[in-house]
Amino acid sequence: YTLKNKRGTSVKITNIGATITSITTPDKNGNIEEIVLGFDDPMSYLSEEYKNNCVYLGAVAGRFANRIAGGQFSLNGKNYKLAQNNGANHLHGGPEGFHFKLWNAKIEADTLVLTLLSPDNDEGYPGNLEVKVSYRLNDDNELIIDYKASTDKATPVNLTNHSYFNLSGKKGNILNHELMIMADHYTPAIDAIPTGEILSVENTPFDFKTFHKIGERMHLLPEKTYDHNMVLNHKEGELSRAAIAKENSSGRILEVFTTLPGMQFYAGYFLDGTHGRGNRKFESLEGFCFETQYFPDSPNKPHFPSCIVSPDKPFNHTTVFKFSTKN
């Protein structure tokens, strides 16, 4: 499926994992280039090689994107055990999460609508969950992603898109991309699981209140890379700007808007030579992710914004990726 607009932007999507496989946009000189990591052949997203080493290229992650500590949580007095596919933890909905499901796809006017039924006990989660993800590309160069989910039983839900961006349009790392993130706080983590604290970004490498290059302060992090949840400044439910990324050689700018309360900023450290488009190897730090989300491990952290969806409280969120250029 291909979405196009009058600005020369094109977005390709497959119903395997509701995955964005390609986004091509013009640079400041009008050259159309690829700005996300992906495969040429959609069947590559189902290959054994990729399944054994999945990096979630462009996929919708769910039922719960990001990590749940120990692969377990309790809800309404009942304990639930989930697949442990990231050490002892549960990651991105489990090994057979939404990223490997075949979604139903249909075109409604200018929108691609993908739907999925996640049955009760799917990867250990309670409730039959009906999921709908819509993609629309408008002539303001905005890719609008609407996420909706309804359930017959209370369950955690956290849906995101795991696209890796490289705005240069070329092979190479993303360390010179400059970012601004609208987050005065972040959730510190040990082994990628939040401690439960919400700390100020002041005087830390997480302070992107003004523009900084990705690679500028990365060496100061104990993990030596970014893979952290930023606590966005806006009120949950309000569609507000979350981040801006710019790459000066191409002049490309990416803005992110979301109604969700958090955003995982991931610098693509664990990319490890997956053979992607044009048989190119995707190496560490060649793409970054802005994963809009509820906070990691929120089913086990009651003071975090609640990710619990129930029959009378559906999941209804929007994320927008806006593309532009500047000389």
Catalytic positions, please? 162, 291
Q: Which two tokens stand for residue 324?
A: 């532009």
Question: Residue 167: which of 4, 14, 25, 314 has the closest Cα?
Answer: 25
* One-character DSSP codes across 37-75: ---SSGGGGG-HHHHHT---TTPEE-SB-SEEGGGEEEE
Using alpha carbons, list the distances in angstroms from residue 282 to 31, 164, 275: 22, 10, 6
For residue 111, give Cα distances in angstroms to 2, 26, 89, 182. 10, 22, 35, 29
Report the C-alpha gap between 56 and 99 in whole angstroms. Answer: 7
Cis peptide preceding 63, ω within 30 of 0:
yes
> By the 8 A CB rule, do 269 and 221 touch?
no
Q: In whole angstroms, what is the distance from residue 187 CA to residue 305 CA? A: 12
Q: Using H for helix, E for strand and C for coil, what is the string for 185-254?
A: EEECEECCEECCCCEECCCCCCCCCCCEECCCCHHHCCCCCCEEEEECCCCCCCCEEEEEEEECCCCEEE
- 């979604």: which residue's tokens? 103
Contacts of 323 (CB under 8 A, 6+ apart): 7, 9, 23, 25, 35, 141, 142, 143, 252, 253, 254
- CA–centroid distance for 324 within its chain: 20
